[in-house]
Structure 1
Amino acid sequence: MTETTTVTFSVLAADERLPDFAALSGLLAEARGLNREDAGRLARHAWGFIGEGLDETAADGLLAKCGAAGIKAVKIPSSRMTALKPPLRVKKAVFEADGFNYTGAGADIRSCRSGEILVLSAAPVREETIKIIKTTEEPSGQERAIRFGIMAVTGLPMGLGKRKEVKKEVRSSELSFVLELILRTDGTRLRVSSNDFDFSGLKEKKTCSSQTNFRVLCAELAAFAPGALKNAGLWAMLESKPLGTLPYDSAEDFEKELRRLAVLAGKGASLLFQQKK
Protein backbone atom coordinates (compact mmCIF):
# COMPACT_ATOMS: atom_id res chain seq x y z
CA MET A 1 0.00 0.00 0.00
CA THR A 2 1.44 3.35 -1.04
CA GLU A 3 1.45 6.12 1.55
CA THR A 4 0.04 9.45 0.44
CA THR A 5 2.06 12.49 1.45
CA THR A 6 -0.04 15.53 2.25
CA VAL A 7 1.38 18.67 0.68
CA THR A 8 0.72 21.86 2.63
CA PHE A 9 1.35 25.50 1.81
CA SER A 10 2.10 28.85 3.40
CA VAL A 11 0.55 32.05 2.09
CA LEU A 12 2.93 35.02 2.35
CA ALA A 13 2.61 38.71 1.61
CA ALA A 14 4.43 39.07 -1.71
CA ASP A 15 5.62 42.67 -1.46
CA GLU A 16 8.85 43.65 0.25
CA ARG A 17 6.99 45.94 2.64
CA LEU A 18 4.46 44.52 5.06
CA PRO A 19 0.77 44.86 4.16
CA ASP A 20 -1.36 47.60 5.70
CA PHE A 21 -2.15 46.64 9.29
CA ALA A 22 -5.86 47.47 9.11
CA ALA A 23 -6.29 45.58 5.84
CA LEU A 24 -4.48 42.52 7.22
CA SER A 25 -6.48 42.58 10.46
CA GLY A 26 -9.72 42.69 8.49
CA LEU A 27 -8.59 39.85 6.26
CA LEU A 28 -7.61 37.64 9.21
CA ALA A 29 -10.88 38.41 10.99
CA GLU A 30 -12.85 37.26 7.95
CA ALA A 31 -10.67 34.29 7.03
CA ARG A 32 -10.44 32.86 10.55
CA GLY A 33 -13.71 34.01 12.06
CA LEU A 34 -12.03 36.23 14.66
CA ASN A 35 -13.15 39.43 16.31
CA ARG A 36 -11.19 42.58 15.48
CA GLU A 37 -9.20 42.54 18.72
CA ASP A 38 -7.95 38.97 18.30
CA ALA A 39 -7.30 39.53 14.60
CA GLY A 40 -5.26 42.62 15.47
CA ARG A 41 -3.09 40.67 17.90
CA LEU A 42 -2.52 38.02 15.25
CA ALA A 43 -1.70 40.61 12.59
CA ARG A 44 0.81 42.31 14.90
CA HIS A 45 3.06 39.25 14.85
CA ALA A 46 2.23 37.90 11.40
CA TRP A 47 5.25 39.53 9.72
CA GLY A 48 3.81 38.77 6.30
CA PHE A 49 2.79 35.17 7.12
CA ILE A 50 -0.92 35.22 6.31
CA GLY A 51 -1.54 31.47 6.50
CA GLU A 52 0.52 28.36 7.29
CA GLY A 53 0.02 24.60 7.03
CA LEU A 54 -2.86 24.90 4.55
CA ASP A 55 -3.92 22.36 1.97
CA GLU A 56 -3.94 23.63 -1.61
CA THR A 57 -7.67 24.36 -1.70
CA ALA A 58 -7.52 26.40 1.51
CA ALA A 59 -4.38 28.19 0.32
CA ASP A 60 -6.02 29.13 -2.98
CA GLY A 61 -9.09 30.36 -1.11
CA LEU A 62 -6.94 32.54 1.14
CA LEU A 63 -5.11 33.92 -1.90
CA ALA A 64 -8.46 34.97 -3.35
CA LYS A 65 -9.37 36.73 -0.09
CA CYS A 66 -5.99 38.49 -0.13
CA GLY A 67 -6.68 39.76 -3.64
CA ALA A 68 -10.10 41.06 -2.59
CA ALA A 69 -8.48 42.88 0.35
CA GLY A 70 -5.85 44.46 -1.91
CA ILE A 71 -3.00 42.42 -0.43
CA LYS A 72 -0.61 40.86 -2.92
CA ALA A 73 0.25 37.34 -1.78
CA VAL A 74 2.07 34.22 -2.92
CA LYS A 75 1.64 30.50 -2.16
CA ILE A 76 4.79 28.61 -1.11
CA PRO A 77 5.07 24.86 -0.34
CA SER A 78 5.64 24.34 3.40
CA SER A 79 8.59 22.09 2.58
CA ARG A 80 10.51 25.21 1.62
CA MET A 81 9.78 27.00 4.89
CA THR A 82 12.39 25.28 7.06
CA ALA A 83 14.64 27.11 9.51
CA LEU A 84 17.27 29.57 8.35
CA LYS A 85 20.90 28.67 8.81
CA PRO A 86 22.53 29.83 12.07
CA PRO A 87 24.04 33.32 11.74
CA LEU A 88 27.78 33.95 11.53
CA ARG A 89 28.88 36.76 13.83
CA VAL A 90 30.60 39.69 12.11
CA LYS A 91 32.99 41.71 14.28
CA LYS A 92 34.23 44.30 11.78
CA ALA A 93 33.47 45.41 8.22
CA VAL A 94 35.00 47.75 5.65
CA PHE A 95 33.64 49.03 2.35
CA GLU A 96 36.21 48.74 -0.42
CA ALA A 97 36.06 49.50 -4.14
CA ASP A 98 35.71 45.82 -4.97
CA GLY A 99 33.17 44.89 -2.31
CA PHE A 100 32.14 44.60 1.31
CA ASN A 101 34.90 43.04 3.41
CA TYR A 102 33.91 41.58 6.77
CA THR A 103 35.73 39.89 9.63
CA GLY A 104 34.17 37.01 11.53
CA ALA A 105 34.74 35.77 15.07
CA GLY A 106 37.75 33.78 13.87
CA ALA A 107 39.46 36.93 12.52
CA ASP A 108 39.23 35.60 8.96
CA ILE A 109 38.48 38.28 6.35
CA ARG A 110 35.93 37.57 3.64
CA SER A 111 34.38 39.65 0.91
CA CYS A 112 31.11 39.87 -0.98
CA ARG A 113 29.87 42.01 -3.86
CA SER A 114 26.66 44.02 -3.82
CA GLY A 115 24.77 41.56 -6.01
CA GLU A 116 25.45 38.74 -3.53
CA ILE A 117 23.38 40.37 -0.77
CA LEU A 118 19.78 39.17 -1.03
CA VAL A 119 18.32 40.49 2.23
CA LEU A 120 19.16 43.26 4.71
CA SER A 121 17.27 43.10 7.99
CA ALA A 122 17.70 45.28 11.08
CA ALA A 123 15.83 45.70 14.36
CA PRO A 124 16.22 46.35 18.09
CA VAL A 125 16.37 42.86 19.61
CA ARG A 126 16.82 41.78 23.22
CA GLU A 127 19.70 39.30 23.27
CA GLU A 128 20.21 36.85 26.14
CA THR A 129 23.67 35.88 27.33
CA ILE A 130 24.63 33.03 29.66
CA LYS A 131 27.75 33.13 31.83
CA ILE A 132 29.10 30.43 34.13
CA ILE A 133 30.51 31.92 37.33
CA LYS A 134 32.62 29.91 39.78
CA THR A 135 32.26 30.72 43.48
CA THR A 136 33.35 29.09 46.74
CA GLU A 137 30.91 28.45 49.55
CA GLU A 138 31.67 27.90 53.22
CA PRO A 139 30.08 24.92 55.01
CA SER A 140 26.59 25.75 56.22
CA GLY A 141 25.89 26.44 59.89
CA GLN A 142 23.94 23.20 60.16
CA GLU A 143 26.83 21.18 58.71
CA ARG A 144 29.27 22.79 61.14
CA ALA A 145 26.98 22.07 64.09
CA ILE A 146 26.68 18.39 63.12
CA ARG A 147 30.43 17.99 62.79
CA PHE A 148 31.04 19.79 66.08
CA GLY A 149 28.54 17.49 67.81
CA ILE A 150 30.26 14.38 66.44
CA MET A 151 33.64 15.64 67.64
CA ALA A 152 32.20 16.39 71.08
CA VAL A 153 30.77 12.87 71.42
CA THR A 154 33.57 10.84 69.86
CA GLY A 155 36.54 13.03 70.56
CA LEU A 156 37.72 12.45 67.01
CA PRO A 157 39.03 15.51 65.14
CA MET A 158 36.84 16.00 62.08
CA GLY A 159 37.25 19.63 61.22
CA LEU A 160 34.33 21.88 60.41
CA GLY A 161 34.13 21.10 56.71
CA LYS A 162 35.80 22.28 53.56
CA ARG A 163 34.92 25.04 51.17
CA LYS A 164 33.08 23.92 48.06
CA GLU A 165 33.52 25.24 44.55
CA VAL A 166 30.11 25.95 43.03
CA LYS A 167 29.34 26.78 39.41
CA LYS A 168 26.40 29.09 38.86
CA GLU A 169 24.66 29.92 35.60
CA VAL A 170 23.89 33.63 35.34
CA ARG A 171 21.49 34.78 32.65
CA SER A 172 21.25 38.38 31.52
CA SER A 173 19.67 40.19 28.61
CA GLU A 174 20.25 43.55 26.99
CA LEU A 175 18.75 45.45 24.11
CA SER A 176 20.97 45.39 21.05
CA PHE A 177 20.54 46.65 17.52
CA VAL A 178 20.95 43.69 15.19
CA LEU A 179 21.64 43.73 11.45
CA GLU A 180 21.53 40.56 9.39
CA LEU A 181 22.51 39.87 5.79
CA ILE A 182 21.58 36.84 3.74
CA LEU A 183 23.98 36.12 0.90
CA ARG A 184 23.26 34.34 -2.34
CA THR A 185 26.14 31.89 -1.87
CA ASP A 186 24.78 28.91 0.08
CA GLY A 187 22.35 31.16 1.93
CA THR A 188 25.13 32.41 4.23
CA ARG A 189 23.65 34.46 7.06
CA LEU A 190 25.72 37.22 8.68
CA ARG A 191 24.89 39.02 11.92
CA VAL A 192 26.12 42.38 13.24
CA SER A 193 25.32 43.29 16.85
CA SER A 194 25.77 46.94 17.85
CA ASN A 195 27.07 45.88 21.27
CA ASP A 196 29.86 43.74 19.83
CA PHE A 197 31.09 45.38 16.62
CA ASP A 198 34.07 47.50 15.61
CA PHE A 199 32.68 50.49 13.68
CA SER A 200 36.12 51.86 12.71
CA GLY A 201 35.43 50.75 9.12
CA LEU A 202 33.03 53.71 8.82
CA LYS A 203 36.13 55.94 8.93
CA GLU A 204 35.19 59.65 9.00
CA LYS A 205 31.48 58.79 9.37
CA LYS A 206 32.08 57.06 12.71
CA THR A 207 30.64 58.84 15.76
CA CYS A 208 30.81 58.32 19.53
CA SER A 209 27.38 56.67 19.60
CA SER A 210 27.06 52.97 18.78
CA GLN A 211 23.39 53.45 17.86
CA THR A 212 24.22 56.26 15.44
CA ASN A 213 27.06 54.21 13.99
CA PHE A 214 24.66 51.31 13.55
CA ARG A 215 22.24 53.49 11.57
CA VAL A 216 25.11 54.77 9.41
CA LEU A 217 26.23 51.19 8.71
CA CYS A 218 22.67 50.23 7.73
CA ALA A 219 22.43 53.19 5.36
CA GLU A 220 25.83 52.38 3.83
CA LEU A 221 24.84 48.76 3.23
CA ALA A 222 21.47 49.74 1.76
CA ALA A 223 23.26 52.05 -0.69
CA PHE A 224 25.88 49.40 -1.44
CA ALA A 225 23.26 46.71 -2.17
CA PRO A 226 20.22 48.55 -3.57
CA GLY A 227 18.73 45.33 -4.92
CA ALA A 228 18.54 43.65 -1.51
CA LEU A 229 15.14 43.27 0.12
CA LYS A 230 14.82 45.28 3.34
CA ASN A 231 12.73 44.59 6.42
CA ALA A 232 10.46 47.01 8.29
CA GLY A 233 13.16 47.90 10.81
CA LEU A 234 15.70 48.84 8.16
CA TRP A 235 13.14 50.89 6.25
CA ALA A 236 12.31 52.75 9.47
CA MET A 237 15.99 53.60 9.96
CA LEU A 238 16.42 54.76 6.37
CA GLU A 239 13.31 56.94 6.65
CA SER A 240 14.30 58.27 10.12
CA LYS A 241 11.18 56.84 11.75
CA PRO A 242 10.98 55.73 15.40
CA LEU A 243 11.70 52.07 16.03
CA GLY A 244 9.73 51.84 19.27
CA THR A 245 6.42 51.50 17.45
CA LEU A 246 7.55 48.39 15.56
CA PRO A 247 6.32 45.14 17.18
CA TYR A 248 9.68 43.43 17.64
CA ASP A 249 8.67 41.97 20.99
CA SER A 250 11.13 39.08 20.74
CA ALA A 251 13.91 37.61 18.63
CA GLU A 252 11.28 35.29 17.14
CA ASP A 253 9.56 38.29 15.52
CA PHE A 254 12.81 39.32 13.85
CA GLU A 255 13.52 35.76 12.71
CA LYS A 256 10.03 35.29 11.27
CA GLU A 257 10.22 38.48 9.21
CA LEU A 258 13.67 37.49 7.96
CA ARG A 259 12.40 34.09 6.80
CA ARG A 260 9.70 35.64 4.64
CA LEU A 261 12.12 38.02 2.94
CA ALA A 262 14.54 35.14 2.36
CA VAL A 263 11.83 33.19 0.56
CA LEU A 264 10.85 36.19 -1.57
CA ALA A 265 14.48 37.00 -2.40
CA GLY A 266 15.28 33.44 -3.38
CA LYS A 267 11.90 32.79 -5.04
CA GLY A 268 11.50 29.94 -2.56
CA ALA A 269 14.91 28.41 -3.34
CA SER A 270 15.71 25.76 -0.73
CA LEU A 271 19.40 26.74 -0.71
CA LEU A 272 18.45 29.58 1.62
CA PHE A 273 17.43 27.20 4.34
CA GLN A 274 18.92 24.60 6.58
CA GLN A 275 16.95 21.49 5.73
CA LYS A 276 15.42 19.53 8.61
CA LYS A 277 16.67 15.98 9.04
Structure 2
Amino acid sequence: MFILSRDRLTMDLDTATLSQMLALLDSDTRHGDGGGEATREGGRGGAAYERVRGKVRELCGMMQRGGHVKHLDLDRISTSYIAMETLLGLTSRKAGEWFKTELRTLGGLDHIITTMSSCADFLDDECEEPSDLQIEKIRKIDRCMRVLENVSYMNTENQQYVICFKQNMLILAMTRVLGQCQRCIESVGEHDSQASEYRASNGAAIFDCLLSVLRVFLNITHDNEVGSIKVGQQTGLIKTLLLCVLQVPQYVPTDKRFDLLVL
Protein backbone atom coordinates (compact mmCIF):
# COMPACT_ATOMS: atom_id res chain seq x y z
CA MET A 1 0.00 0.00 0.00
CA PHE A 2 2.83 2.39 0.77
CA ILE A 3 4.47 1.83 -2.61
CA LEU A 4 1.13 2.12 -4.40
CA SER A 5 0.43 5.41 -2.62
CA ARG A 6 3.54 6.91 -4.23
CA ASP A 7 1.97 6.47 -7.69
CA ARG A 8 -0.49 9.34 -7.97
CA LEU A 9 -1.66 8.31 -11.45
CA THR A 10 -2.83 4.77 -10.80
CA MET A 11 -3.58 4.74 -7.06
CA ASP A 12 -7.04 3.25 -6.61
CA LEU A 13 -8.61 3.06 -3.16
CA ASP A 14 -11.84 1.58 -1.89
CA THR A 15 -13.54 1.54 1.51
CA ALA A 16 -12.25 -1.90 2.48
CA THR A 17 -8.65 -0.94 1.67
CA LEU A 18 -8.88 2.32 3.59
CA SER A 19 -10.40 0.51 6.58
CA GLN A 20 -7.57 -2.04 6.58
CA MET A 21 -4.91 0.68 6.38
CA LEU A 22 -6.44 2.62 9.29
CA ALA A 23 -6.55 -0.59 11.33
CA LEU A 24 -2.82 -0.99 10.74
CA LEU A 25 -2.19 2.39 12.36
CA ASP A 26 -2.84 0.73 15.72
CA SER A 27 -0.99 -2.48 14.97
CA ASP A 28 2.16 -1.60 16.89
CA THR A 29 0.21 -1.38 20.13
CA ARG A 30 0.06 -5.16 19.78
CA HIS A 31 3.66 -5.64 18.68
CA GLY A 32 5.37 -2.80 20.51
CA ASP A 33 7.54 -0.29 18.67
CA GLY A 34 8.97 -2.32 15.85
CA GLY A 35 7.86 -5.67 17.17
CA GLY A 36 9.04 -5.27 20.73
CA GLU A 37 6.22 -7.21 22.36
CA ALA A 38 6.45 -10.05 19.88
CA THR A 39 10.19 -10.26 20.45
CA ARG A 40 9.78 -10.32 24.21
CA GLU A 41 7.40 -13.22 23.86
CA GLY A 42 10.16 -15.08 22.07
CA GLY A 43 9.61 -17.87 19.57
CA ARG A 44 9.15 -17.71 15.82
CA GLY A 45 6.50 -14.94 15.91
CA GLY A 46 8.92 -12.23 17.04
CA ALA A 47 11.70 -13.44 14.77
CA ALA A 48 9.34 -13.48 11.80
CA TYR A 49 8.23 -9.93 12.50
CA GLU A 50 11.84 -8.74 12.69
CA ARG A 51 12.69 -10.49 9.41
CA VAL A 52 9.83 -8.77 7.63
CA ARG A 53 10.75 -5.44 9.23
CA GLY A 54 14.32 -5.86 8.01
CA LYS A 55 13.11 -6.62 4.50
CA VAL A 56 10.91 -3.53 4.47
CA ARG A 57 13.83 -1.40 5.64
CA GLU A 58 15.92 -2.83 2.83
CA LEU A 59 13.25 -2.05 0.22
CA CYS A 60 12.75 1.49 1.55
CA GLY A 61 16.51 1.99 1.52
CA MET A 62 16.57 1.00 -2.14
CA MET A 63 13.83 3.54 -2.84
CA GLN A 64 15.79 6.26 -1.03
CA ARG A 65 18.95 5.47 -2.98
CA GLY A 66 16.83 5.91 -6.11
CA GLY A 67 15.90 9.41 -5.00
CA HIS A 68 12.45 8.62 -3.57
CA VAL A 69 10.79 8.78 -0.11
CA LYS A 70 13.71 10.75 1.29
CA HIS A 71 11.63 11.75 4.33
CA LEU A 72 11.40 8.18 5.65
CA ASP A 73 13.32 7.43 8.85
CA LEU A 74 14.57 3.88 8.29
CA ASP A 75 15.35 3.44 11.98
CA ARG A 76 11.67 3.94 12.85
CA ILE A 77 10.22 1.46 10.35
CA SER A 78 7.21 -0.33 11.82
CA THR A 79 3.75 -1.30 10.66
CA SER A 80 2.03 1.79 12.07
CA TYR A 81 4.78 4.12 10.80
CA ILE A 82 4.44 2.82 7.24
CA ALA A 83 0.63 2.92 7.49
CA MET A 84 0.70 6.59 8.52
CA GLU A 85 3.11 7.48 5.72
CA THR A 86 0.79 5.69 3.30
CA LEU A 87 -2.18 7.69 4.56
CA LEU A 88 -0.29 10.98 4.24
CA GLY A 89 0.73 10.07 0.69
CA LEU A 90 -2.79 9.49 -0.56
CA THR A 91 -4.39 11.86 -3.03
CA SER A 92 -7.69 12.41 -1.28
CA ARG A 93 -9.06 14.70 -3.97
CA LYS A 94 -8.81 11.89 -6.52
CA ALA A 95 -10.52 9.47 -4.15
CA GLY A 96 -13.65 11.64 -3.97
CA GLU A 97 -16.17 12.62 -1.33
CA TRP A 98 -16.60 9.08 0.02
CA PHE A 99 -12.94 9.14 1.05
CA LYS A 100 -13.44 12.31 3.07
CA THR A 101 -16.39 10.77 4.89
CA GLU A 102 -14.78 7.40 5.53
CA LEU A 103 -11.55 8.98 6.75
CA ARG A 104 -13.59 10.74 9.43
CA THR A 105 -15.90 7.89 10.44
CA LEU A 106 -13.13 5.30 10.54
CA GLY A 107 -10.90 7.43 12.78
CA GLY A 108 -8.34 8.54 10.21
CA LEU A 109 -8.73 12.23 11.00
CA ASP A 110 -8.09 11.46 14.68
CA HIS A 111 -4.73 9.92 13.81
CA ILE A 112 -3.70 12.75 11.49
CA ILE A 113 -4.61 15.51 13.95
CA THR A 114 -2.89 13.70 16.84
CA THR A 115 0.23 13.13 14.73
CA MET A 116 0.32 16.78 13.70
CA SER A 117 -0.10 17.97 17.28
CA SER A 118 2.64 15.62 18.51
CA CYS A 119 5.02 16.98 15.87
CA ALA A 120 4.16 20.54 16.92
CA ASP A 121 5.26 19.70 20.47
CA PHE A 122 8.82 19.26 19.18
CA LEU A 123 8.99 22.88 18.00
CA ASP A 124 10.59 25.42 20.30
CA ASP A 125 8.71 28.73 20.44
CA GLU A 126 11.89 30.59 21.34
CA CYS A 127 14.19 28.92 18.80
CA GLU A 128 14.62 30.69 15.47
CA GLU A 129 17.05 28.13 14.04
CA PRO A 130 15.29 24.72 13.94
CA SER A 131 17.31 21.55 14.42
CA ASP A 132 17.34 18.71 11.91
CA LEU A 133 14.78 16.85 14.02
CA GLN A 134 12.52 19.91 14.07
CA ILE A 135 12.82 20.28 10.28
CA GLU A 136 11.78 16.63 9.98
CA LYS A 137 8.74 17.37 12.16
CA ILE A 138 7.91 20.47 10.11
CA ARG A 139 7.93 18.38 6.93
CA LYS A 140 5.59 15.85 8.53
CA ILE A 141 3.27 18.63 9.72
CA ASP A 142 3.19 19.87 6.14
CA ARG A 143 2.11 16.44 4.87
CA CYS A 144 -0.58 16.21 7.57
CA MET A 145 -1.84 19.67 6.63
CA ARG A 146 -2.09 18.73 2.96
CA VAL A 147 -4.38 15.81 3.77
CA LEU A 148 -6.45 17.93 6.16
CA GLU A 149 -6.70 20.65 3.53
CA ASN A 150 -8.09 18.21 0.99
CA VAL A 151 -10.60 16.52 3.28
CA SER A 152 -11.88 19.80 4.78
CA TYR A 153 -12.33 21.57 1.45
CA MET A 154 -16.06 22.15 0.81
CA ASN A 155 -16.92 19.47 3.40
CA THR A 156 -18.88 20.92 6.32
CA GLU A 157 -18.91 17.73 8.40
CA ASN A 158 -15.14 17.36 8.30
CA GLN A 159 -14.66 21.06 8.99
CA GLN A 160 -16.76 20.87 12.15
CA TYR A 161 -15.04 17.66 13.21
CA VAL A 162 -11.47 18.97 12.95
CA ILE A 163 -12.48 22.28 14.59
CA CYS A 164 -13.95 20.63 17.70
CA PHE A 165 -11.74 17.54 17.98
CA LYS A 166 -10.36 17.21 21.53
CA GLN A 167 -11.06 20.79 22.59
CA ASN A 168 -9.67 22.45 19.46
CA MET A 169 -6.41 20.46 19.47
CA LEU A 170 -5.79 21.12 15.78
CA ILE A 171 -6.39 24.88 15.96
CA LEU A 172 -4.10 25.21 18.97
CA ALA A 173 -1.33 23.28 17.23
CA MET A 174 -1.76 25.17 13.95
CA THR A 175 -1.52 28.52 15.72
CA ARG A 176 1.73 27.47 17.37
CA VAL A 177 3.19 26.08 14.13
CA LEU A 178 2.26 29.19 12.15
CA GLY A 179 4.05 31.43 14.65
CA GLN A 180 7.13 29.22 14.66
CA CYS A 181 7.26 29.10 10.84
CA GLN A 182 6.91 32.88 10.62
CA ARG A 183 9.82 33.43 13.00
CA CYS A 184 11.99 30.80 11.33
CA ILE A 185 11.43 32.18 7.83
CA GLU A 186 12.54 35.65 8.91
CA SER A 187 15.62 34.18 10.59
CA VAL A 188 16.56 31.97 7.63
CA GLY A 189 15.72 34.67 5.11
CA GLU A 190 18.11 37.15 6.65
CA HIS A 191 20.98 34.83 5.79
CA ASP A 192 19.63 33.35 2.55
CA SER A 193 18.06 35.91 0.25
CA GLN A 194 18.82 34.31 -3.11
CA ALA A 195 16.04 32.18 -4.63
CA SER A 196 18.39 29.40 -5.77
CA GLU A 197 19.95 29.10 -2.34
CA TYR A 198 16.57 29.39 -0.66
CA ARG A 199 15.14 26.35 -2.43
CA ALA A 200 18.07 24.27 -1.25
CA SER A 201 17.71 25.40 2.35
CA ASN A 202 15.41 24.50 5.18
CA GLY A 203 13.59 27.73 4.47
CA ALA A 204 11.69 26.12 1.60
CA ALA A 205 10.31 23.38 3.86
CA ILE A 206 9.32 25.91 6.51
CA PHE A 207 7.59 28.14 3.96
CA ASP A 208 5.69 25.19 2.45
CA CYS A 209 4.47 24.27 5.93
CA LEU A 210 3.36 27.84 6.59
CA LEU A 211 1.29 27.89 3.39
CA SER A 212 -0.28 24.52 4.22
CA VAL A 213 -1.35 25.75 7.65
CA LEU A 214 -2.85 28.90 6.13
CA ARG A 215 -4.84 26.81 3.64
CA VAL A 216 -6.41 24.75 6.41
CA PHE A 217 -7.16 27.91 8.40
CA LEU A 218 -8.89 29.24 5.30
CA ASN A 219 -10.99 26.08 4.88
CA ILE A 220 -12.25 26.01 8.46
CA THR A 221 -13.05 29.74 8.72
CA HIS A 222 -14.56 30.53 5.31
CA ASP A 223 -18.32 30.95 5.78
CA ASN A 224 -18.00 29.04 9.06
CA GLU A 225 -19.02 30.92 12.20
CA VAL A 226 -17.83 28.30 14.68
CA GLY A 227 -14.45 28.00 12.97
CA SER A 228 -14.04 31.76 12.77
CA ILE A 229 -14.80 32.19 16.48
CA LYS A 230 -12.46 29.38 17.58
CA VAL A 231 -9.61 30.57 15.37
CA GLY A 232 -10.15 34.22 16.25
CA GLN A 233 -9.84 33.42 19.95
CA GLN A 234 -6.23 32.22 19.60
CA THR A 235 -3.79 34.47 21.44
CA GLY A 236 -1.31 36.19 19.15
CA LEU A 237 -2.74 34.77 15.90
CA ILE A 238 -3.81 38.12 14.41
CA LYS A 239 -0.34 39.53 15.08
CA THR A 240 1.25 36.50 13.39
CA LEU A 241 -1.04 36.87 10.36
CA LEU A 242 -0.14 40.55 10.02
CA LEU A 243 3.55 39.66 10.18
CA CYS A 244 2.98 37.06 7.45
CA VAL A 245 1.48 39.79 5.24
CA LEU A 246 3.74 42.72 6.10
CA GLN A 247 7.13 41.17 6.96
CA VAL A 248 7.54 37.59 5.70
CA PRO A 249 7.26 38.39 1.93
CA GLN A 250 10.60 40.21 1.93
CA TYR A 251 12.34 37.03 3.10
CA VAL A 252 10.98 34.67 0.41
CA PRO A 253 11.64 34.52 -3.35
CA THR A 254 9.56 36.85 -5.49
CA ASP A 255 7.73 34.00 -7.21
CA LYS A 256 6.58 32.68 -3.83
CA ARG A 257 5.07 35.90 -2.48
CA PHE A 258 1.80 35.86 -4.41
CA ASP A 259 0.49 32.63 -2.86
CA LEU A 260 1.34 33.87 0.62
CA LEU A 261 -0.41 37.21 0.17
CA VAL A 262 -3.54 35.65 -1.37
CA LEU A 263 -3.89 33.17 1.50
Give the TM-score, by structure 2 length: 0.25
Q: Select the structure of larger CA radius of gyration.
A: 1
Larger relative helix fraction: 2
Give the TM-score, by structure 1 length: 0.24
